[in-house]
């Protein structure tokens, strides 16, 4: 019974595989890899999208929509946090922080906060002509 491949065939195939492995190693050495670690909502995906924009890969329409919503939500959360901190500082020392006083229980302030929160949930279509 004879084998299906000769020794020369096996050696040639082996050389081809080794050449492919060496070529792939050269390619892999030129690729820069970055591991992004962080908790949820820490900006890992946003950083990746910014890199895409800066280096010309562009973004998909869904990326724009997802990013827009996330950015709006973060802005609203930050605004509310600033309002609460302002109120806290005013409460601790009203005399020295008089110009920073914001009463978040005031009807007009509540109405403004609701408008901002509603704005963060709106879906604007920036991709259509």
- The pLDDT of residue 124 is above 60: no
- The pLDDT of residue 126 is above 50: no
Average pLDDT over residues 61-88: 77
pLDDT confidence tier of residue 121, bands split at 50, 70 and 90: low
Q: Spell out the residues 6+ positions from residue 10 whose beta carbon is closer than 8 angstroms to its own.
A: none
- The pLDDT of residue 129 is above 70: no
Question: Does the predicted model carry a pTM greater than 0.85?
Answer: no
**Binding residue numbers:** 45
Report residue 12 CA to chain centroid gap: 48
Q: How many other C-beta atoms are found inside a 10 Å radius of the C-beta of residue 49?
A: 20
Q: What is the pLDDT of residues 2-61, one digit of tens each?
A: 556 678 888 999 999 999 999 999 988 888 777 777 788 788 888 877 877 777 766 666
The Cα-based distances of 25 to 10, 19, 22, 34 in angstroms read: 22, 10, 5, 18
**Binding residue numbers for Mg(2+):** 45
Q: What's the whole-number average pLDDT of the chain?
A: 77
Cα angle value 82/83/84 (rounded, 5°): 90
E strands, the chain, in order: none
């Amino acid at each position: 019974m004879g084998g299906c491949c000769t020794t020369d065939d096996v050696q040639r195939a082996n050389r081809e595989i080794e050449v492919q492995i060496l070529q792939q190693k050269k390619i892999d050495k030129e690729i820069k890899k970055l591991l992004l670690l962080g908790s949820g909502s820490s900006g890992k995906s946003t950083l990746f999208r910014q890199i895409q924009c800066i280096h010309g890969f562009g973004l998909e329409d869904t990326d724009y929509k997802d990013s827009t919503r996330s950015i709006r939500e973060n802005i609203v959360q930050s605004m509310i946090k600033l309002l609460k901190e302002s109120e806290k500082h005013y409460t601790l020392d009203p005399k020295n922080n008089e110009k920073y006083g914001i009463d978040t229980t005031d009807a007009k302030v509540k109405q403004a906060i609701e408008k901002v929160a509603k704005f963060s949930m709106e879906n604007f279509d920036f991709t259509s002509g």
